[in-house]
């Protein structure tokens, strides 16, 4: 009886030894490539500030304005001209459209971010205040002295319009 038990223990030791030896002879795992074949590592990105497009370095030009009331949205236009850089004076026209067109002359100031414009006509006066983002978007509040309406405006590239010719502006 000792022989079968001894043979069994020997067979177990032999099989364990074979498993250990087989694991030791296995090749190490291949490292995964860090870059696609044929390409080097990706260059490190260095953030730089993107300059504004040439037509958007001042308030000069046409702005499409959307005024939000409870009942509807009104679409009008600013035609602005900025004199100087920061702390600039601004002049132009607020074109409400319609027939006949309602156009109010605009005067105001702009400090590089915040603005205040006044559009005056014979029948009404409006005040626009708010801020400018990257010379391309305006967010603000328009007031006629009784009501305040939020508005946004987007800078549009210059168009040659016959009705935008305003002598003295």
Task: Report the pLDDT value the prediction gives residue 151, as an integer from 0 to 100.
Answer: 95
| CA atoms 43, 45, 49, 50: torsion sign | positive
- Global pTM? 0.60
Question: What are the residue ranges spanned by the domains of the chain?
Answer: 54-158
Task: Report the pLDDT value the prediction gives residue 127, as an integer from 0 to 100.
Answer: 97
Those residues of the chain that have pLDDT short of 50 are none
Task: Report the pLDDT value the prediction gives residue 28, as an integer from 0 to 100.
Answer: 62
Task: Report the pLDDT value the prediction gives residue 130, as an integer from 0 to 100.
Answer: 96
Task: Report the pLDDT value the prediction gives residue 103, as an integer from 0 to 100.
Answer: 92
| CA atoms 57, 58, 63, 69: torsion sign | positive
For domain 54-158, is the CATH number 2.40.128.120? yes
CB burial of residue 131 (10 Å; 0-12, 13-18, 19+) = middle
For residue range 115-160, list pLDDT tens digits in order: 999 999 888 899 999 999 888 899 999 999 998 999 999 998 655 5
Task: Report the pLDDT value the prediction gives residue 37, as an integer from 0 to 100.
Answer: 59
């Amino acid at each position: 009886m000792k022989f079968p038990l001894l043979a069994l223990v020997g067979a177990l030791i032999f099989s364990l030894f074979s498993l250990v030896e087989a694991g030791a002879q296995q090749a190490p795992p291949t490292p995964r490539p860090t870059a696609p074949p044929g390409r080097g590592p990706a260059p490190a990105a260095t953030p730089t500030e993107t300059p504004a497009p040439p037509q958007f370095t001042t308030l000069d030009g046409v702005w499409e304005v959307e005024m939000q009331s409870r009942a509807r949205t009104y679409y009008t236009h600013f035609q602005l001209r900025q004199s100087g850089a920061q702390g600039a004076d601004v002049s132009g026209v607020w074109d409400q459209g319609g027939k006949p067109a309602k156009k109010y002359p605009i005067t105001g100031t702009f400090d590089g971010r915040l603005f205040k414009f006044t559009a005056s006509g014979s029948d009404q006066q409006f005040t626009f205040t708010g801020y400018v983002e990257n010379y391309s978007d305006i967010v603000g509040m328009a007031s006629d002295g009784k009501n305040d309406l939020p508005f946004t405006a987007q800078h549009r590239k210059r168009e040659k319009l016959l009705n935008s010719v305003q002598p003295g502006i």
